[in-house]
Amino acid sequence: MKGSERYDVIVLGGGPAGLSAAIYLSRAKIQTLVISEGMPGGQMILTHRVVNYPGVEDISGYQLSQVMKKQADSFGARIVANAIVSRIEADKEEKCVMLSDGRSFCSDALIIATGGKPRSLNVSGEENFRGRGISYCATCDGEFFTNKAIVVVGGGNSALEEAVSLTKYATEVHLIHQFDHFQAFPYAVEEARRNPKIKFYLSSVVTEFGGEDFLEYVKVKNLLNQQETELKVNGAFIFIGYEPNTQLFKQYPILNERGEIVVDENMKTTLPGVFAAGDAVAKRYRQITTAVSDGTIAALAAAEYINELNKHIKLVS
């Protein structure tokens, strides 16, 4: 595209998957551009403490993202942060990304690492206490609520399985679901009902999260009698689904019915030269470590693609 800046690989997304890809690519002397919607780090920035990242005992998500960014910078990757992408051409030989400010960038290969986000309840106090009592990942944050009372919101397999898992730490788990029945598999429902630490609030919704610096209470309304109850808790885990950030790719045949990107074992999509990694990919587990793994594999596969492309160009010329 005329007037565009040119790179070997463009990485869309500056979370752990995108930054890991940038580290591997730039260290291999492949010209790499990372385009990040916000600050580098993605959802990782919202994690108050990371204590299960191998080799790192205790670090905040923000600090870990800064370390990754510094590594990518040191190897020569360019990072464009706080960028708004308006259009993407991913199905041509030259992949191009256009920003809302008029800038455009093109490359031979594209790695989609746009991530995603847990669905929100969109009730009062949720944004205020995100990362300060409200979590969307039991594996990440469950241990922080040892010997404390918590709330779990949701009625699918994730909600019930994580509620049971969280009883290893919490003194009591209040399970809140808006319907009078669960959508989870029977085995998950039975296991949860057998656990004495779990209290059920069916046909109920959360109306407010409250407290001062950290979450201190959750208000719950019964939809049948309209009665509202205030639960004294220190934590809330919300499991009502996940939204991949893939809206810009709806016109391409690389998404499944949930909007997730389908890839093979090498993080390749069905579009030549287009790879994907991290939380936007169709997979079961979404952790910082799995995102880093995806980013590494996508980078190695993209590097191989670039090298093969260069060989072909030399042969033709």
Of 140, 264, 279, 294, the catalytic one is 140
CA 155 remoteness from chain centre:
21
Q: What's at 48, amino acid-wise?
A: H
* Nearest in space to 182 (alpha carbons), one of 154, 155, 160: 155
CA gyration radius, the chain = 22
Distance CA 174, CA 233 (A): 9
**Count of helices and strands (H, E) across the chain:** 6, 17
Of 8, 108, 141, 294, the catalytic one is 141
Residue 96 among the catalytic residues:
no
Residue 141 among the catalytic residues:
yes
Helix (H) or strand (E) holding 96: strand 95-99
Of 8, 96, 108, 137, the catalytic one is 137
Phi (first) and psi of residue 88, to 5 degrees? -135, 135
What three-state secondary structure class fits 68? helix
* Nearest in space to 94 (alpha carbons), one of 31, 18, 4: 4
Please check whether residue 59 is in contact with residue 49, taking contact to mean a CB–CB distance below 8 angstroms.
yes
Residue 106 among the catalytic residues:
no
- Which of the residues are catalytic? 137, 140-141
